[in-house]
Chains A and B, each alone.
Chain A
Amino acid sequence: MNHHSSNLQPFLNRLTSRSVLSDRERRRILDLPVRVKQVRSNEDFVTLGERVDHACFVVDGLVGRFGQNAQGERQITALHIAGDMPDLHSMVQPATNWALQALTTTTLLLVPHASLRAAAAAHPAIAEAFWRDCTVDAGILAQWIVNVGRRDAQSRLAHLLCEMAWRYEGPIGRAPVVYDLPMTQSQLADATGLTPVHVNRTLKRLREIGTWHHGRRVRVEDWDALAAIGEFDPGYLQVDLEPEERLRIVN
């Protein structure tokens, strides 16, 4: 079935930025059937413990993966932006022990697990590309654990703002950077293991080195200063691989 073949082009672009796929394999990705779903800000569209039969691709908006404690306090464990498939891994682990929430109005494409599995079974290189994408997510999660476990509040927020700049804008040079990050201070607190007041206080300190988060926008005037405070090294994001660095291990 070929309902929306062009809609998954950004998903294909993401996969092929890290993995090598043949024309036939690329076609198979573009031909995956999809269903469009709109979610409102703060809506949980995958709930804790749910069993899902599809994965979600983010067309636009912002998605948080989260867990929570017994009091219902949430910790955001991952952020997913346009071009990400936050729960690609659910095709092999459909019982969730996490949940997904739209942090702003978000458009998703739902792709049936059955179709993803069939594509992976027919083309081992597609399975490899899916796996590789999941390992990048795991690499980001590992950085976030270092962030909440071993960095102070200022470094944590700086690291997060650097990471999101690279993920939204691609490789960042030394010029000032402006990008939209539609998160409240409360949501930033949930992503960094801080409280909203602490986030507010820390953002005020970051202004002293030329970084603003105001409304839904981030402005970084001195990238090197922010990256130094955040101890940010973008290698784990794998967003700027040269063609010869893209991998294909299976034939």
Chain B
Amino acid sequence: MRFFFHLHNDIDTRDEEGTELPDRDAARALAQKEARTMAAESVRKGHLNLAHFVEVTDEAGAALFRVEFGQVIDVYDR
């Protein structure tokens, strides 16, 4: 199955190529990894918006789920 990973942070980036994965769980795992990677990239530049997210769609373009940065990062302030 092919899944598409669209990034919504300071600009929206649509995935037109997609990634072949065995199932939805694999797509969720990859979306989490991508969200953490992009959040980390933001932190490197000195900012982070926990509401930014990766949205996953199927081949028909239907939205399956979204992973917000804040859902996959534990933030502590002490």
In which size bucket is the chain B interface? 10 to 19
Q: In the assembly, what is the distance between CA of A201 and CA of B17, in Å?
A: 13
Chain B positions 4 through 40: 1 when the CB is less than 8 Å from some CB of chain A, otherwise 0: 0101010101010101000000000000011001100
Contacts A153-B41, A186-B19 given; does A200 touch B33 at CB 8 Å: no
* B residues less than 8 Å from A93 (CB atoms): none
Q: In the assembly, what is the distance between CA of A2 and CA of B3, in Å?
A: 50
The residue of chain B having its C-beta at the shortest distance from the C-beta of A186 within the complex is: B19
Contact call B37/A197, Cβ cutoff below 8 A: yes
Q: In the assembly, what is the distance between CA of A196 and CA of B19, in Å?
A: 9
Chain A positions 178 through 219: 1 when the CB is less than 8 Å from some CB of chain B, otherwise 0: 000000111000000001111011001000000000000000
The residue of chain B having its C-beta at the shortest distance from the C-beta of A204 within the complex is: B13
Interface of A is mostly: helix
The residue of chain B having its C-beta at the shortest distance from the C-beta of A153 within the complex is: B41
Tell me how far the C-beta of B44 lies from the nearest C-beta in chain A, rounded to whole angstroms.
8
Question: A196 is contacted by which of B5, B9, B11 (Cβ under 8 Å)?
Answer: B5
* B residues less than 8 Å from A200 (CB atoms): 5, 7, 13, 15, 17
Contact call B19/A201, Cβ cutoff below 8 A: no
Q: In the assembly, what is the distance between CA of A195 and CA of B37, in Å?
A: 8
List residues of chain B with CB under 8 Å of any chain A CB. Answer: 5, 7, 9, 11, 13, 15, 17, 19, 33-34, 37-38, 41, 54
Considering the complex of A and B, which 5 residue pairs feature the smallest CB-CB distances, nearest first? A197-B34, A201-B13, A195-B37, A204-B13, A185-B17
List residues of chain A with CB under 8 Å of any chain B CB. Answer: 153, 184-186, 195-198, 200-201, 204
6 contacts between A and B (CB under 8 A): A195-B34, A196-B5, A197-B37, A198-B34, A201-B13, A204-B11
